[in-house]
Amino acid sequence: METPLTTRTFTMSVLLEFSMFPTDKGESVSAYVSQVIKMIRDSGVDYQLTPMGTIIETETMPEALSIIEKAYAVLEAQGCNRVYSSLKFDIRKGKENRLAGKINSVREKIGEIKT
């Protein structure tokens, strides 16, 4: 059965900021997280890595949720038995390219900013 999330005839932007990491692998987990970032990079979605998480932009909610499922699968394949994740969504119909657009909007108002 098709739902509004899987069939759409309009432009849509799903921004998802998330962090996901194992809590059972010690104090430093960059070896594990870097493999999640590699999967995101290789997926072809637009993304921005930050010190506290990663922001991705997709055209549909299922695409965004698929990245989350794949991120967990990457950690699970590395033997991670306990995983913490935090997710924040900004979903907007009628817009696209918001990952860069939101930053550019602020830059236009106040001038150069660090990204």
Structural domains in the chain, CATH included, are 12-110 (3.30.70.930)
Mean pLDDT across 14-22: 98
Mean pLDDT across 86-109: 92
Confidence class of residue 3 from pLDDT cuts 50, 70 and 90? low
| Nearest partner of 45 among 30, 35, 29, 60, judged by Cα | 60
The residue with tokens 């900013």 is 113
| Residue 81, pLDDT score | 98
Mean pLDDT across 85-92: 97
Identify the burial level of 71 via C-beta atoms within 10 angstroms of its C-beta, where 0-12 means exposed, 13-18 middle and 19 or more buried: buried
Q: Comparing 8 with 86, which gets the higher pLDDT?
A: 86
| Nearest partner of 74 among 6, 10, 9, 20, judged by Cα | 20
The DSSP element (H or E) to which 20 belongs, if any, is strand 12-22
| Residue 6, pLDDT score | 55
Residue 90, token pair as written in the block = 């900004």
Q: Which residues contact 57 (CB under 8 A, 6 or more apart)?
A: 13, 14, 15, 16, 45, 46, 47, 97, 98, 99
Mean pLDDT across 63-71: 98
**Tens digit of each residue's pLDDT (9 = 90 or more) over 25-39:** 999 999 999 999 999
Amino acid at 9: T
pTM of the model: 0.85
Residue 1 predicted with pLDDT over 60: no
Mean pLDDT of the chain: 92
